Amino acid sequence: MPATALAPALASVLTEPPADILPGLAELIARELAPKVVDIDQKGVYPGDFLKQLGALGGLASLTPVAHGGTALGLAHAIQVIEEASKQCVSTGFLLWAEYALQWYVVNSSNRELAGEMLPKMARGDVLGGTAQSNSMKSCVGIEEARLKATRVDGGYRVNGVLPWV
């Protein structure tokens, strides 16, 4: 289902060809993502190189304020980037959603120091991440063991662990 069906108000901005969404996006997808789709889906290969190069193009900066190194092009732009990647690899499209979700959390956090330090790195693709709440929620109700560990550090917590791709 296209994003326009879920957000009709965005329909007018979600019709641009890939070159208009982000210069170099179509070429990056063809060069770095399309040849790896089978390995991503069948072998669990993480498309980190693609995501980092997408960040270098500005494709991870849509939700990040200009003051923190982003483009602030907004949700419609982020959806367009996700949609274009998903045309080749839905798994990678989901990872892009997770990247944007993490940035949204940091943008909307009251922790300005974290935002100042991390948002520029996230927007450029220097640091990749995503949400990890699924395992946390499942472990709270006893469905699976917690796979993340939070350690108190100066100024907050550091969360570490490995989550399987499911």
Both 96 and 137 in a single domain?
no
What is the domain extent for residue 161? 132-166
In a shared domain, residues 83 and 163:
no
Instruction: Measure the CA–CA gap between 69 and 58, rounded to whole angstroms.
Output: 10
Q: Give the HSE-up count for residue 149: Cα atoms under 13 Å, Cβ half-sphere.
A: 2
Q: Identify which of 148, 147, 166 has the alpha carbon closest to the alpha carbon of residue 158.
A: 148
Residues 136 and 90 in one domain: no
pLDDT tens digits, one per residue of 68-99:
999 999 999 999 999 999 999 999 999 999 99
Number of domains within the chain: 2
88 and 8, same structural domain?
yes
Quote the pTM value: 0.73
Indicate if 62 and 118 belong to the same structural domain: yes
> What six digits make up the tokens of 126?
């220097």
Q: Are residues 71 and 142 both part of a single domain?
A: no
Quickly state the pLDDT bin for 60 (edges 50, 70, 90). Answer: very high
Ramachandran region, residue 74 (left: φ > 0; alpha: ψ -120 to 50; beta: rest): left
Looking at the structure, do residues 49 and 92 belong to the same domain, yes or no?
Answer: yes
For 79, 81, 114, 152, the CA distances from 157, given in Å and listed in that order, are: 30, 31, 11, 4
| Same-domain check for residues 124 and 145 | no
Position 142 confidence tier, pLDDT thresholds 50, 70, 90: confident
Are 32 and 14 in a shared domain?
Answer: yes
**Residues forming beta bridges with residue 151, ordered by sequence position:** 158
28 & 81 share domain: yes
